[in-house]
Amino acid sequence: MDILEAMRARHSVRKYATQPIPADVREKLQQEIDACNREGQLHIQLLCDEPGAFSGAMARYGSFSGVANYIAVAGVKAEDLDERAGYYGERIVLLAQQLGLNTCWVALTFSRRKARYTLEKGEKLVLVIALGYGITQGVPHRSKTMEELCRCADPMPDWFRRGMECAMLAPTAVNQQKFLLTLEGERTVRAQAVRGPYAKLDLGIVKYHFTQGAGSENFDWAQSDIPADEE
């Protein structure tokens, strides 16, 4: 399964089988996590055989069952921490999908108190990603239309369309899809979040998807952070 197939196959899964993650699969995940921590200056941690964080009322409220593994996404508090957490977290999510695992990003419906992770000075836990062998593969989310999610003069370049198709497959909190991608000139893409909870996290995830579809050789990200609803 290549990364584009992984994006199409990935859906949030909340019910898991008891099957543990084999050692060689853990090892591959750990290598990717180490690379993401280096490149993204994050402190992402793989927690296996640790059912505590998903055994309380919040997890039941969120319809989770059988979650014994998760990835804790943490890093030093900074303005762009959420966006980096989204970008690199999704890179790990898509590798997990390629390795035959299922996932679900979880910001709210788990127990922060019972979660097992470590923090260094100045760090915070952003959120976790549930991980394991799903009882089902989940279902595709409903999506806003491409026209609602981007601005691009006619004719839309093929690479931009491929990027948008992947961006539309990105998971966002409560499937809010509060993002806007604008093609400025020939090859500059401005990614903006409409303000709201987890919008910056979502934007990081969306930027990772867009880059995989569009090809990083075809465009550059614009260097500006104006919220889409403030222009």
Ligand X SMILES: Cc1cc2nc3c(=O)[nH]c(=O)nc-3n(C[C@H](O)[C@H](O)[C@H](O)COP(=O)(O)O)c2cc1C
- The binding site for ligand X (CB under 6 A) comprises 11-12, 14, 62, 104-109, 138, 141, 171-175, 198, 201-202, 205
Comparing CB distances to ligand X, the nearer of 32 and 90 is 90
Task: Report the first-to-last Cα separation within the chain, whole angstroms.
Answer: 40
| Minimum CB distance to ligand X smaller for 110 or for 219 | 110
Cβ 54 to ligand X shortest distance, Å = 11
CA proximity to 192, closest of 166, 223, 147? 223
CA 38, 165, 231, 224 dihedral sign is positive
- How far, in Å, CA of 35 to CA of 86, rounded? 15
With CB atoms as reference, the residue minimizing the distance to ligand X is 171
Nearest CB to ligand X, comparing residues 108 and 156 = 108
Least distance to ligand X, CB of residue 134, Å: 11
The smaller minimum CB distance to ligand X, of residues 73 and 214, is found at 73
Contact 175, 142 (CB under 8 A): yes
Q: Which is nearer to ligand X, 12 or 182 (CB)?
A: 12
Q: Are 111 and 129 in contact (CB under 8 A)?
A: no
Backbone angles phi, psi at 122, to 5 degrees: 85, 0
Write down the least CB distance from residue 227 to ligand X, Å: 17
Rounded CA separation 203/180 (Å): 9
**Shortest distance in whole angstroms from residue 105 CB to ligand X:** 4
- Nearest distance in Å: CB 1, ligand X: 17
Residue 24 host element (H or E):
helix 23-40
Please calculate the CA angle 94-67-207 and round it to the nearest 5 degrees: 25
Measured from the CB of residue 8, what is the shortest distance to ligand X in angstroms? 11
Strands 188-193, 220-221: pairing is parallel
Q: Given the complex with ligand X, which of 14 and 207 has the nearer CB atom?
A: 14
* CA angle in degrees (0–180, nearest 5) for 203-207-213: 145
Backbone φ, ψ for residue 72 (5° rounding): -90, 125
CB 202, min distance to ligand X, A? 6
Q: Closer CB to ligand X, residue 108 or residue 226? A: 108
